[in-house]
Structure 1
Amino acid sequence: MECWGNGGTETYVAGLVRLLAAQNFEVTLALLNNGDEDAVDFLPRNRIRVIGLAGLPKALRQQRPDVVSLHLYAHLLPAMLVCRALRYPTVTTLHMPLESWGLRHRLYWRLAIRLSSTVIGVSKQVLNPLKGRNIWPSAIPGGVDPLFFTCPRDKQRPTAEAFTLIAMGRLAAEKDWATLIEAVARLPLPLRQRTAIEFYGSGILQNELDSLAKRCGVQTAFHGHAGKDQLVQALSTADLFVLPSRFEGLGLAALEAMAAGVPTITADFAAARGYIEQGVTGHRFPVGDATGLARWIEWHMTHPEASIAIGLKGREFVRQHFSEEKAYRPYLEIFKQVAN
């Protein structure tokens, strides 16, 4: 990985490593840059190494791995070239669709894909544009940390009090949080006055989003980066979760909210269609459509019993299809095939 942070890729890798460790695989987490590696709690400290790209050849020679599992973005191609030069088999997991990158990075990724022993996509959106004999035929979505399934839902009955809307993720342009703020601003005044958006995540757009919320008369609170325990606590009292992203490789934050039993709305990015069945496990709205999002927020506020039922159905769907054990198990077969 490039570095350890608090995004969906880190959650994906953590779940994969937990499964591998349970199956007695020996795993070393190699990071190309310093980050929040002290937050890694699923591996012994001596199995976590910050090596830098220049240190990758030395690290590979020392570790002599059977397989190198790559979860990279900007450094995917140079890391791939190192692995190929030293003749180590690679399993490349792509966490974002090719279309989300500029032309130069798309070319780099396509070359890295051709050089990889096996390539995995985390969703159909990531997988569908990929061609080649080395492409694993089925998407392997991230599993949801079991902690989210333990979330105690304090809001199991309708209430006319304050309506808490949870937003989890980086405060970055691709998440399109501005559309969420504008949607709340378009609610009828009595509903807007009840609604507060609680943001969990950090990023360069915080001041801009705060200013927009104040101009629109929307109540917001920015909590910065939060650990999973804090997120579970926040979700336990939430009325609704919204992920308005313009694109997502998977949208793991939405799955975590659904696992906690929180009614969920996402933008209609392609990956969401794999888990948001309209009106059954959640709702989707056209990307960037603040008016369309406002309609669904209003629906959940004015149909609280039905909203709670959708949250429960979403929780059961994620439990059946996105548990860590179920999601990551195909890797066991893939690693054995590639190593042989």
Structure 2
Amino acid sequence: MSKLRLGVIGTGGIFKHVHLPALLKHADIEIVALCDIIPAKAQIIADEHGIQQVYENYRDVLARDDIDAVDICTPNLYHSEIAIAALNAGKHVFCEKPDAVNQHEALKMKQAAESSGKVLMVMRNNRFRAVSQFLKRVSEQGHLGDIYAGRCGWIRRRGIPGKGGWFTTKELSGGGPLIDLGVHMIDLTVWLMGNPKPVSVSGSTYCKFAASTISDSEHSKFGETQSEGVFDVEDLANGYIRFDNGASLQLEFSWASNIGEESNFVELRGTKGGFKLVNDDIKLYTELEGVLCDIHPQIEASQDAHGANLYHFVDVIKHDAEPLFTPEQGLDMIKILDAIYESARTGKEVYLT
């Protein structure tokens, strides 16, 4: 098979700073077209890297028979619309997270992938971190035993991205830190638990820092700030998930709250062992010969996890690699997020079907 000919739809910050450097390094990928609703932005990138064609309408990309796959890096609202159209046009699809802004759209994406026979993969870069790969092996080899409870989150002191822009506009984003950061750490945790099915969810959301202009997080640089823009999403969400195997998971995600410092974390408790992962630092807790033991593994610095995820997408298409992500897992993720928002609205636990 020749190089995978790729069309990119959406050329904002996540593409320029994360996707593009990885794609340019891969010998089996050729970026042949860029698309953006502001074509001048895409043209600058195209000129710099010798990319042949720039479009304003994504359907012009999908109409090309010589494009094998698309990489979708638009605001969240458009992920499902473009992914479904691309799959129906016979293209493989890689999409930035979140999969969609609601479960109905995520289900349509899954159905389009199944009917087209094409690969649909959504960014799950945290699965490809070196520490995550290590913990997955520890879990699969049975060192944790029966995993029955956990906690996960990503909390910031002041790190609201693109305030007033699409990140903080519910119509375009689907929500705040829950849908922005929650996809990352909930997915990683559930994956490490062995992908049990969620059966019920409860949660709360808060918006307390919409007027704040302070930032201490580099992540606040994502998106374009608009001083007169909209802020109608939460800045903190917490919740609780029950799974079909009896396990449970607590969670917390914030763009802004009065804490010591930003961190992302996963903690799991098993009958043989447990662990705490904070950023890239792991501590394992177990017992040996009747003695409680703390183990502090030294894992090499993470590879480019975003790039590794993109390269895995290529391997699935070109070399029939077993996909580490399935659209069914994506649908479960969006069901969880939908249910937390619904529980926060109603004050009641939500049961999933």
- TM-score greater than 0.5 by the shorter chain: no
Q: Between Structure 1 and Structure 2, which shows a larger proportion of helix residues? A: 1
TM-score w.r.t. structure 1 length?
0.43
TM-score w.r.t. structure 2 length?
0.42
